[in-house]
Structure 1
Amino acid sequence: MWILLTVCLISAPDTCHEERISWSMEARDSMACLIHAQETIAQWQLTHRHWKIRNWRCVTQRGLSTDI
């Protein structure tokens, strides 16, 4: 399971990219990811203070796009 974040620079809001966080839950357990991902996202935010999270979603390995 992966958490995909769309993040943008606080100082340049039009400068955005995708961050991928590997999340160690069963590949088919998307509901658990949706419920518990917020803690992982909050930890990421603490170490990336210059970035603002615009949105996020949980995806399985199969749903993960190969192009960034």
Structure 2
Amino acid sequence: MELILSICLIASPGTCREEAVSVGIEMPPAPVQCMLGAMPVIAEWRETHPKWKVLKWRCAQPGAAGREI
């Protein structure tokens, strides 16, 4: 499974994109499984990318990201 994060630069809120983060949960995840598995992954991603703000996220199959928003 991948988490698709919708992110924007903190210093330039108009600069936004989607970022895919791999998570070791089998597809299709139950909604609760996705929610519980996503939170620590998102927290870790935010720690390593301090210039970006996560606006929203969703669970997806691998390869679903890459679109500009």
Please name the residue that 2:51 is paired with.
50
Q: CA deviation at 1:36?
A: 2.0
Query: Contact (CA 8 Å) 1:30, 1:59: kept in 2 or not?
Result: no
Residues 1:16 and 2:16 are matched in the alignment = yes
TM superposition outliers: structure 1 runs of 4+ over 3 Å: none
Tell me, in whole angstroms, the C-alpha distance in 2 between the residues paired with 1:30 and 1:59. 12
TM-score normalised per structure 1? 0.85
Residues 27-42 of structure 1: pairs in structure 2 closer than 5 A? 27-31=27-31, 32-42=33-43
Query: Mind listing any 5+ residue stretches in structure 2 that lack a counterpart?
Result: none
Please name the residue that 2:5 is paired with.
5
Tell me, in whole angstroms, the C-alpha distance in 1 between the residues paired with 2:19 and 2:30. 18
Percent identity between matched residues is 36
Query: Mind listing any 5+ residue stretches in structure 1 that lack a counterpart?
Result: none
Aligned residues: CA RMSD: 1.7
Give CA-to-partner distance per residue, 1:7-63, whole Å, 9 cap, x none. 00000001001100011111111421122201000000000000001110111248x
Tell me, in whole angstroms, the C-alpha distance in 2 between the residues paired with 1:2 and 1:49. 21
